[in-house]
Amino acid sequence: MAVAAVIALALHLSSASLSAAQVDPLGAWNDGVAKRAIVEFVHVTTTPGPAFVPPDERIATFDQDGTLWVEHPMYSQVVYCLDRVPVVVKAKPELANQEPFKTVLSGDREAIAKLSKHDLEIILAATLTGMSTDEFVADVKGWLATARDARWKRAYTDLTYLPMIELLKYLRDNGYKPYIVTGGGQDFVRVYAQAVYGIPPEQVVGTAGGIKYAYDKDGKPYLTKEPKLLLNDDNAGKVEGIHLMIGRRPFAAVGNSVGDQQMLEYTKAGAGSRLSMLVLHDDAEREYAYGPAQGLPDTKVGTFTQALFDEAHRDGWVVISMKRDWNRVFAFEK
């Protein structure tokens, strides 16, 4: 009887795992080169054999803008900063007649879209610093709860790619620790990364500024965000960020633009089996299409050059075609 009970239990467990296995963990991915490369990579690095990777070395790094969520027509964080300009100007009224604040306040979308990189840097510095870290978190949370993107009329955090959410979970279920490595603000992304991606603050590497340590009137310490750049987490800075905050080379990395080039090279150059992947935005209908690799005009937001495309092929990176490889883009799609 005891043996029968054990067998019954074993059968139950076995059928439970079988039915779990029947649900494809990468169901939003079409069967193709990209999906097969992912499954093969995970298989060989988690199965005893020459490419096996010990669990604590299973590091995967993901760019965010254009890789995990929509980056067009403008990075969500830049929208946040533009939305914050009136608050900053209210506190410092003299800015109202100074550029680039004047243009932002005018509400002229075309003029705003034409702001230079230097203009944007001034806006980012003015809107992302000078408050305490606690105030910043509260403000970003408030903005995320109410701001809606212009095309889908949805919260920005709804605009994450379902196949990538699946991939993050699939990697985690196989012992991988996924990090976000973003050119965006580390403090900004950390506000929602746990809820949206299941990625805790300590696994978010991003562009980071200094903080000032001070005491309030009750002698309690608090931190203020300073306009001092600690880490510019883009291009080679992404590898610097990985070295600084992770301290080991990833086994897998995913990006979508020239800012991810060095991260993908560095990952792929490691010993053993490594997976470097690039998301190609080639689906204007369901999302956007951009980058000269598709014969489309280039973009300042998420630049994907022909040279990057060529390097991907030469270096064995997997190119993910949004159009061909994803049968669903967003979770809210039917």
**Tokens 């097969």, residue located:** 36
Among 51, 246, 258, 289, binds a second copy (CB under 8 A): 246
Question: Per DSSP, which regions of 74-128 are E strands?
Answer: none
226-261 burial, b at 16+ Cβ within 10 Å, e below that, comes to: eeeeebebbeebbbbbbeebbeebbbbbbbbbbbbb
Is residue 56 at the binding interface for a second copy, with CB under 8 A as the rule? Answer: yes
CA distance 281 to 290: 6
Is residue 258 at the binding interface for a second copy, with CB under 8 A as the rule? Answer: no
C-beta of residue 206 within 8 angstroms of C-beta of residue 221: no
Residue 143: CB partners within 8 Å, gap ≥ 6? 80, 83, 84
Residues within window 82-141 making contact with a second copy, judged by CB under 8 A: 133
Minimum distance, C-beta of residue 87 to a second copy, in the bound complex (Å): 23
CB atoms within 10 A of CB 63: 28
Element (H, E) at 238: helix 236-245
Residues within window 170-229 making contact with a second copy, judged by CB under 8 A: 186-187, 190, 194, 200-202, 204, 208, 210-213, 220-221, 223
Is residue 279 at the binding interface for a second copy, with CB under 8 A as the rule? Answer: no
Q: Report how far apart the first and last C-alpha atoms of the chain are (Å, whole number).
A: 49
Residues within window 136-165 making contact with a second copy, judged by CB under 8 A: none
Minimum distance, C-beta of residue 210 to a second copy, in the bound complex (Å): 6
Minimum distance, C-beta of residue 94 to a second copy, in the bound complex (Å): 30
**Listed residue (66, 192, 197, 212) closest to 132, CA to CA:** 212
Minimum distance, C-beta of residue 327 to a second copy, in the bound complex (Å): 32
Is residue 271 at the binding interface for a second copy, with CB under 8 A as the rule? Answer: no
Is residue 236 at the binding interface for a second copy, with CB under 8 A as the rule? Answer: yes
Residue range at the interface with a second copy (CB under 8 A); choices 124-132, 260-268, 277-285, 323-331: 260-268
For a second copy, the binding residues (CB under 8 A) are 1-2, 4-5, 56, 59, 133, 186-187, 190, 194, 200-202, 204, 208, 210-213, 220-221, 223, 230-231, 236, 239-240, 243-248, 262, 265-266, 269
